[in-house]
Structure 1
Amino acid sequence: MGEWVTKNGHNLHISKTLISIMLWNGAGKNVIYF
């Protein structure tokens, strides 16, 4: 993962927020690859 992060520089902050939400909502699922 991280391809859609490097496309736009400002997408990094948005993706980090999305990842945090996904980690909270889908903890223990296939979201925790980092």
Structure 2
Amino acid sequence: MSFSKNIQLNNLIKVSVRFRHFESIVLVENSDRSYVR
């Protein structure tokens, strides 16, 4: 079990979680605009 590989995996997970969070924010903003119209 290599230590550097573990760090890479953790970074990948963090990035994907952050991206998913950003995507959900964009979705919420879009739905808010459509509700206002």
Which has the larger helix fraction? 2
| Structure having the higher Rg | 2
Pick 1 or 2: higher relative contact order, CA cutoff 8 A, min separation 6: 1
